[in-house]
Amino acid sequence: MSDDLDLHHGPIGPNCVHLCVDMQRMFAEDTDWRTPWMERVLPRVEALCRAAPDRTIFTRFIPAERPGQGEGTWRRYYESWESMTLEQMGRDMADLLPSLAAFHPPAEIIDKTVYSPWCEPELDVRLRERGVDTLIVSGGETDVCVLGTVLGGVDRGYRVIVAVDALCSSSDEMHDAMLAVYRRRYGQQIETVLTETAIREWIGAQASI
């Protein structure tokens, strides 16, 4: 197990950013999309943000305004999840959790309307402009939006480091299965580490600049 929690491709370089996925009120509070253990991982996500707030980017999943909106299967999706439209739950439920919102600015925010943040070209543009080559990923859910974030990063050639104890899902089974997939199927391109390892290596890289 310890071998699965090492950096297999050398030290983290100075061009690294923390990409925090969808740590929002609607997933932490009493809604139909509540992720029960988001609060449990929040201290580790906060620690990653605190390590370098100016090198943290938050993504936020923005639901449809009302049922009937969305293209293709997304239209049907929001007919099933009417309670999670902005009209029903309130726009402020799409906000970051308050303790994380406090890091913005200097942390940045990218909004998206689908699982993958890479469908918003702005994310890749911002990263390329800053010379970023490595992503430390935290947030939720492991098997949904984190999955889209991680695989999109791999597709674009970024080194992807997943902070496994700073992830959450509404399904323990799928969370565990997804971590196994990251390690066994994508081990050449995805590294899985504990938050304390990610912070120690990341801060060391920044100190060497």
Q: Strands 16-21 and 108-112: what pairing?
A: unpaired
Mean pLDDT across the chain: 93
Q: How far apart are CA 200 and CA 67, in angstroms?
A: 45
2: confidence class by pLDDT, cuts 50, 70, 90: very low
Token pair for residue 137? Answer: 């990923």
Which one is the CATH code of 2-62+93-207: 2.60.40.1120, 1.10.10.10, 1.10.3720.10, 3.40.50.850? 3.40.50.850
| pTM recorded for the entire structure | 0.94
> Using an 8 Å Cβ cutoff, are 133 and 159 in contact?
yes
The tens digit of pLDDT for each residue in 120-155 reads 899 999 999 999 999 999 999 999 999 999 999 999
Burial of 64 (0-12, 13-18, 19+ CB in 10 A): buried
- Rounded distance between C-alpha atoms, residue 129 and residue 166, angstroms: 27
Q: What is the pLDDT of residue 207?
A: 56
Which strand ranges, in their side-by-side order, compose the sheet holding 108-112? 108-112, 56-61, 16-21, 134-140, 159-168, 190-193
